[in-house]
Amino acid sequence: MSAVIALVDDDRNILTSVSIALQAEGFVTRLYSDGEAALKSLLDNPPDLAVCDIKMPRMDGLELLRRLREKSALPVIFLTSRDDELDEALGLAMGADDYIAKPFSQRLLIARIRAILRRADLTRLGPAGDTDGEPVAEPILRGRLAMDPARHRVTWADKEVTLTVTEFLILESLAQRPGVVKSRNQLMDAAYQDDVYVDDRTIDSHIKRLRRKFRQADPQFEAIETLYGAGYRFSED
């Protein structure tokens, strides 16, 4: 089944040209001219991934992402202007999975879309027996934490915690070896495997979001520890 990509941008030329390029690669596209028009559809009938401009009328991309993240872990790629580093940092800190600066290569965008969909596939289980010969990742049980990579499902003390693909991969990297310190670079490699550069602040922002989400399930959550100057580790205690 073809992956469905939602395109959200107030520039009709970008919507049309990117949609044509994606359809030529076998994707199905849905087009929205602003965040307000897109939000309800993204929640009620989620695509596989959304590509979203930041600067739009009525509801900009950051506000769209904020509202989306209240209810959904849908993978999101942001389109930004080259001089909007603050917007890029804010978008990633709020839960975007990637960003691309305008003007951009459609080939690069398609490569990034495929990369994130591959990452998402690592955490999804297909129909029974339909794994294309690939081994299904085993569940991870660490104290009160339970992670099922095949179903992209996380619980803490039996309470479900909804994570984005990037957050899931960072937590998985930490939980695979409890007690072992992972540097920011190691966590970058786990979460951004396809030539995407992010700085230390981005990993720190994702860790803050992870802690905030788990503390909503358990106000006493302290399992992700900071080792200043070294990185982070997961503690089962």
Q: What are 117-153's pLDDT values in tens digits?
A: 887 775 543 333 344 445 556 789 999 999 988 778 8
Cα(89)–Cα(78) distance, integer angstroms: 11
Instruction: Give mean pLDDT, residues 206-225.
Output: 93
Q: What is the pLDDT of residues 57-93, one digit of tens each?
A: 889 888 999 999 888 889 999 888 755 556 666 777 7
pLDDT in tens, 93-103: 777 888 888 87
**Using CA atoms in the order 79, 121, 144, 140, what is the torsion angle rounded to 10 degrees?**
-140
The Cα 151–Cα 205 span in angstroms is: 25
> What local confidence, expressed as pLDDT, does residue 136 receive?
54
How does the average pLDDT of the chain come out, rounded?
84
**Band of residue 199 on the pLDDT scale cut at 50, 70, 90:** low
116 compared with 83, residue with greater pLDDT = 116
- For 97, phi then psi, to 5°, come to -90, -25
What pLDDT was estimated at residue 206? Answer: 86
Sign of CA dihedral 147, 148, 153, 155: negative
pLDDT of residue 198: 60
Q: Is the pLDDT of residue 46 over 60?
A: yes
The pLDDT score that the predictor gives to residue 98 is 81
Q: How far apart are CA 101 and CA 166, in angstroms?
A: 19
What pLDDT, on the 0 to 100 scale, is given for residue 172? 92
DSSP the chain: -PPEEEEE-S-HHHHHHHHHHHHHTT-EEEEESSHHHHHHHHHHS--SEEEEESS-SSS-HHHHHHHHHTT----EEEEEETT-HHHHHHHHHTT-SEEEEES--HHHHHHHHHHHHHHHHTT---STT-STTPPPPPPEEETTEEEETTTTEEEETTEE----HHHHHHHHHHHHSTT--B-HHHHHHHH--SS----HHHHHHHHHHHHHHHHHH-TT---EEEETTTEEEE---
Range from 2-16, 104-118, 192-206 carrying the lowest mean pLDDT: 192-206
Tell me what pLDDT residue 189 has. 82
Give pLDDT, residue 94.
Answer: 76
pLDDT of residue 194: 57
Give per-residue pLDDT as tens, 158-190.
999 988 888 888 999 999 999 999 998 888 888
Q: What is the pLDDT of residues 1-20, one digit of tens each?
A: 789 999 999 999 999 999 99
Length of the chain: 237
What average pLDDT score do residues 36-63 get?
91
Round to whole Å and give the CA distance between 149 and 169. 9
Burial of 56 (0-12, 13-18, 19+ CB in 10 A): buried
Q: What is the pLDDT of residue 100?
A: 83
Per the confidence metrics, is the pTM higher than 0.75?
no
Distance CA 156, CA 146 (A): 6
